A and B are shown apart, each in its own frame.
Chain A
């Protein structure tokens, strides 16, 4: 890890950290890569094309991008294009960073851990930071372990929507079959279409969804049908009334049954329904 003047380059975060004030500056990833290459070749001239290839690998950008990155870097390290104290422009060739301002830091773990702690919201004051620094040296392995297995990283998968939706799907997969099994074993009462029996005699069978109205119709029809039996071949009537539909099955000996269905209006009264049935019987009497 490199240190340019008081700024340490933290490559994992494209960030510069001031070792004196603990100030952190985030710079663009391209700018960071340019600075990194200049640090690696400090004291030597780095060609513009090399910078372009390194910082903008696979992309086609103009040399102006390099110039802009250099300008940004100069701002950070208190330099400028006019003075060129540390970062010098070599006209038409490239740039050179003075080796006197570049240091190589041997132990980067400390800085990395601090940054991670800050990222977790554990902001330290300069005093406590120093204290932490001192204690840190004695427990580098523990710090490393903390950095690698911090709570946020370790359990971040628990908060991912993929994990939650997966758990929900598993729950449904286990619970749904048991619910369905229960449904299948329960008798399906919704398929019952035929309502209550009102009358069940030799000449008339009636199923009616409104018992009161059904009984009135039955009382009016029975004498009529019984009278018919005396003068005509035996006739039997099966009637079903559900909602606004009246179904008649007229059964006569040795003849095909006759199916007649009436679609009633909601205002049709008992008298009209009785008359409809009588008319239909009369129509099919012979």
Chain B
């Protein structure tokens, strides 16, 4: 979700961004999926994130609003204004890193989440890296509204 915010600054004041990722542990005991959609206007955004993981019994849907700040060329931080998510039913507390990251206090700090542009691809795609539950890299799609 957060990684895609960066694109808004590249694409103009109105953009819709989406992406999906699959997360696995190397031993195969943990699996997760995360999808997001985001709408950016100027420096503010609204996003919808849906994810689930091995330790959860249900799917978590979270809605966020916030602001994007540019630190240096290709480097950005975001600040959350507001966030709501549905209730989580947990079956294994050791296998919910995504949910733990989502509810962590650190994440609510201003400019805590960092985003770095790695590469611009063809067909409205970009590769960005971000911190989060762990530093990771994903490709995101950007659709600009005229």
Contact = CB atoms under 8 A, between A and B. Distances in A.
Contacts of B134: 242-245, 263
B130 A193 contact: yes
A262 interface: yes
B72 A247 contact: no
B139 A259 contact: yes
Interface string A223-267: 000000000000000101011110101010010111111111100
Contacts of B66: none
Contacts, number: 101
B137 interface: yes
Interface residue SS majority, chain B: strand
A164 interface: no
Which of the listed residues A243, A256, A264 has the most CB atoms from chain B within 10 Å of its own CB? A256
B71 interface: yes
A192 B75 contact: yes
B141 interface: yes
A262 B26 contact: yes
Given A243-B135, A262-B25, A257 B125 contact: yes
B116 A247 contact: no
Given A238-B137, A242-B135, A263 B72 contact: no
Nearest to A248: B137
Interface of B: 19-27, 30, 71-72, 75-77, 97, 114-116, 118-119, 121, 123, 125, 127, 129-131, 134-139, 141
A265 B29 CA distance: 11
Contacts of A263: 23-26, 30, 97, 134
A139 interface: no
Interface residues of A, number: 33
Contacts of A265: 25-27
Given A187-B71, A240-B118, A263-B25, 7 more contacts: A188-B72, A193-B131, A240-B137, A243-B134, A254-B123, A260-B22, A268-B26
Interface residue SS majority, chain A: mixed
Nearest to B75: A191
A216 interface: no
A191 B121 contact: no
Interface of A: 187-188, 190-194, 205, 207, 238, 240, 242-245, 247, 249, 251, 254, 256-265, 268, 272-273, 276
A188 B71 contact: yes
Given A249-B127, A257-B125, A193 B141 contact: no
A261 B131 contact: no
Nearest to A247: B137
B31 to A, nearest CB: 10
B10 to A, nearest CB: 17
Contact of A261 (B24, B115, B127): B24
A188 B114 CA distance: 11
29 contacts: A187-B72, A188-B72, A191-B75, A191-B77, A192-B75, A193-B129, A193-B135, A194-B116, A207-B137, A238-B118, A238-B119, A240-B118, A244-B134, A245-B135, A245-B136, A251-B139, A257-B139, A259-B21, A259-B138, A260-B21, A260-B22, A260-B24, A261-B21, A261-B22, A262-B26, A263-B30, A264-B25, A264-B26, A276-B26
A205 B21 CA distance: 19
A193 B76 CA distance: 11
B143 to A, nearest CB: 13
B52 to A, nearest CB: 15
B6 to A, nearest CB: 11
Nearest to A284: B22
Nearest to A192: B116
